[in-house]
Structures are given as C-alpha cells and as structure tokens.
Amino acid sequence: MYEWVKALHVISVIAWMAGMMYLPRLFVYHAEAAAGSDKAETFKIMERRLYRGIITPAMLATWLFGLWLAFGFGIVDFSQGWMWLKAVSVIALSGVHGWYGSMLRAFREDRNTRPHTFYRAINEVPFVIAIVIVIAVIVKPF
Ligand code: HEM
C-alpha cells in the first residue's frame, strides 16, 4: 500500500510541476498581448483552465498523498533534517502557487502592469524549488 500511495504522490507531483512551469509561459505571452484583444481573451481561458483544472487539483492530490505517506504508515522519521527542508520547500512552492493565482486574477481583470520580462524571470522558480525537494527526498543529505 505504501508503494501505491508513493506512486500516486509522484504522479500528482508531475502534474503539479508541469502546470507550474507552463503557467508563467502563458503569462509571458499574455503580457505581450494588448488588453481586450482576442489573443488576450484566449490566454485568460487557457490560464483559468490550466489553474483550476490541473494545477490546483494536482497540488491538493500531492498534499493528500504526501500527508498520507507522512502520517499514515508511521515509517517516516521526523528527526531527520531533510524532512524539514522538504516541508519548508513544499510550503514555499504552495506559496508560489497562490502567488500565481493572484497574477491570474490580475490578468483576468485586465489589471496586469508587469512586463513580460518579469514573467520570464520567475519562470524557473518552481523548478529550482523542485530540484531542492528531489535532492532532499532522494539524496537525504542530512
Ligand atoms: C505537498 C506536500 C508534500 C508532502 C507532505 C510530502 C511527503 C512525502 C513523504 C512523507 C514521502 C515519503 C518519503 C520516503 O519514503 O522516504 C514523499 C516521497 C516523495 N516526494 Fe513528497 N511530499 C510533498 C510534496 C512533494 C513535492 C512538491 C515533490 C517534488 C517536487 C515531492 C517529491 C517526492 C518524491 C520524488 C518522493 C519519493 C522519494 C523516495 O522514494 O525516496 N513531494 N513525500
């Protein structure tokens, strides 16, 4: 059972991360499109479907299966440092998720004032956090 929950956890992580890496790309192109144009309205639909249909459900599933792994089987040792590095990192990743949600709302209401270069710059943030998490859980450096 533990292996099945872990497999579902990793599958959810893949969906969450895929969406978290794609959404800022949409913001880059959206920021370049004129507000009110057909292009901008299409980006609004794509962003909403990606966020509501994939990213948020995948995040909830990641948390559900992750907490199930952590507390459901009694085999995780909370005295190990990597566990806490992972905990801080997943909270940060969830914070970025919420931050992206606020950007999505700004675009939806035609309030975005940030240039496309800003969205290019933040594009890699979820990937950097994911690298830290994977090294923490696989290498368990401390
Ligand atoms: C959202 C909250 C999360 C919680 C509560 C959580 C919790 C856990 C727990 C308890 C394990 C089992 C550890 C073990 O068997 O040694 C695990 C495994 C794993 N987690 Fe998470 N996790 C979360 C999010 C994430 C994220 C965001 C990623 C990647 C970006 C991730 C990647 C992994 C991987 C790759 C494994 C398998 C490690 C192995 O088999 O050795 N987790 N997670």
- CA atoms of 83 and 18, how far apart (whole Å): 23
**113 lies in which domain range?**
2-139
Residue at token pair 């800022």 = 24
The percent of residues above 90 in pLDDT, for the chain, comes to 92
Give mean pLDDT, residues 67-73: 93
Binding site membership for heme: which residues?
9, 86
- CA atoms of 7 and 65, how far apart (whole Å): 9
Q: Which pLDDT belongs to residue 76?
A: 79
pLDDT at 110 over 80: yes
Distance (Å) from CA 95 to ligand 1 centroid: 17
Q: How many structural domains compose the chain?
A: 1
Give mean pLDDT, residues 60-89: 92
Integer angstrom CA distances of residue 137 from 33, 42, 58, 82, 87: 40, 39, 19, 7, 11
Residue pair 32/116 in contact (Cβ under 8 Å)? The answer is: yes
Q: Which pLDDT belongs to residue 22?
A: 97
Residue whose Cα lies nearest atom 12 of ligand 1: it is 69
Q: Please, which residues have CB within 8 angstroms of residue 65's CB and are 6 or more apart in sequence?
A: 5, 6, 8, 9, 12
Give mean pLDDT, residues 110-132: 96
Give mean pLDDT, residues 45-68: 98
Residue whose Cα lies nearest atom 19 of ligand 1: it is 137
Pocket of ligand 1 (CB under 6 A): 6, 9-10, 13, 17, 62-63, 66-67, 69-70, 76, 90, 93, 130, 133-134, 137-138
- Using the atom order of ligand 1, give the atom closest to the CA of residue 130: 30
Q: Which pLDDT belongs to residue 75?
A: 76
Where on the phi/psi map is residue 80: left (φ > 0), alpha (ψ -120 to 50), or beta? beta
- Using the atom order of ligand 1, give the atom closest to the CA of residue 138: 41
pLDDT at 111 over 80: yes
ipTM over 0.85? The verdict is: yes
- CA atoms of 99 and 93, how far apart (whole Å): 10
